[in-house]
């Protein structure tokens, strides 16, 4: 089912186990707030304990710095403090995005978020314990 995503790039699985986000364009500090942690989508749905898959293959550029990544991790901590741990997986197209997500991973993992980043969709499907087809774009 498609959800009301600010960027029209989100889909929630029918059993509410997984939120799939496929942003496109330039990843700026402003867009990162919702694309990294899907806070607006999840707030509307009141589903904070859902795992997330972020397909960043459509990102064409990055204008995101350490201070914003650090602020994202802090925001995630505030959101997660009364909820169970979730998995957030990020499929990345290049080493630049890989490095940015790894930075986020280092800052966010203490905040009840089990972050995984990879160039391999099969690896992330395994982490999320879902069929690879569930992560593929339709």
pLDDT tens for each residue of 45-54: 677 778 889 8
List the one residue out of 106, 125, 46 whose CA is nearest residue 134: 125
- Rounded alpha-carbon distances, angstroms, from residue 76 to 80, 83, 115, 130: 6, 11, 12, 24
Q: Looking at the domain assignment, is residue 138 inside a domain?
A: no
The enclosing domain of 52 has a CATH number of 3.30.750.24
Whole-angstrom distance, CA of residue 36 vs CA of residue 95: 17
Q: Looking at the domain assignment, is residue 3 inside a domain?
A: no
pLDDT at residue 105, rounded to an integer: 86
Q: Looking at the domain assignment, is residue 96 inside a domain?
A: yes
Q: Looking at the domain assignment, is residue 136 inside a domain?
A: no
pLDDT tens digits, one per residue of 70-110: 888 887 777 777 777 888 899 999 999 999 888 888 887 66
Q: Looking at the domain assignment, is residue 44 inside a domain?
A: yes
Structural domain of residue 93, as residue ranges? 10-128
Q: Looking at the domain assignment, is residue 45 inside a domain?
A: yes
With bands split at pLDDT 50, 70 and 90, how would you rate the model's confidence at 38? low
Polymer length of the chain: 138
pLDDT tens digits, one per residue of 7-19: 566 676 766 678 8
> Is the predicted pLDDT of residue 60 greater than 70, yes or no?
yes
DSSP letters spanning 78-133: HHHTTS--EEEEEE-SSHHHHHHHHHHHHHHGGGTEEEEEES-HHHHHHHHTS-HH
Q: Domains in the chain: how many in total?
A: 1
Q: Looking at the domain assignment, is residue 133 inside a domain?
A: no
């Amino acid at each position: 089912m498609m959800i009301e995503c600010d960027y029209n790039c989100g889909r929630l699985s029918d059993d509410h186990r997984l939120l799939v986000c496929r942003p496109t364009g330039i990843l700026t500090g402003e867009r990162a707030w919702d694309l990294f942690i899907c806070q607006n989508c999840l707030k509307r749905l009141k589903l904070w304990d859902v795992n997330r898959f972020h397909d960043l293959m459509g990102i064409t550029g990055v204008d995101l710095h350490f201070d914003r990544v650090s602020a994202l991790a802090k925001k995630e901590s505030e959101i997660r403090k009364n909820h169970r741990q979730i998995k957030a997986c990020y499929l990345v197209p290049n080493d630049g995005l890989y490095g940015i997500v790894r930075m986020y991973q280092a800052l966010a993992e203490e905040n009840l978020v089990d972050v995984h980043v990879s160039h391999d969709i099969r690896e992330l499907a395994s982490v999320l314990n879902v069929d690879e087809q569930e992560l593929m774009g339709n």
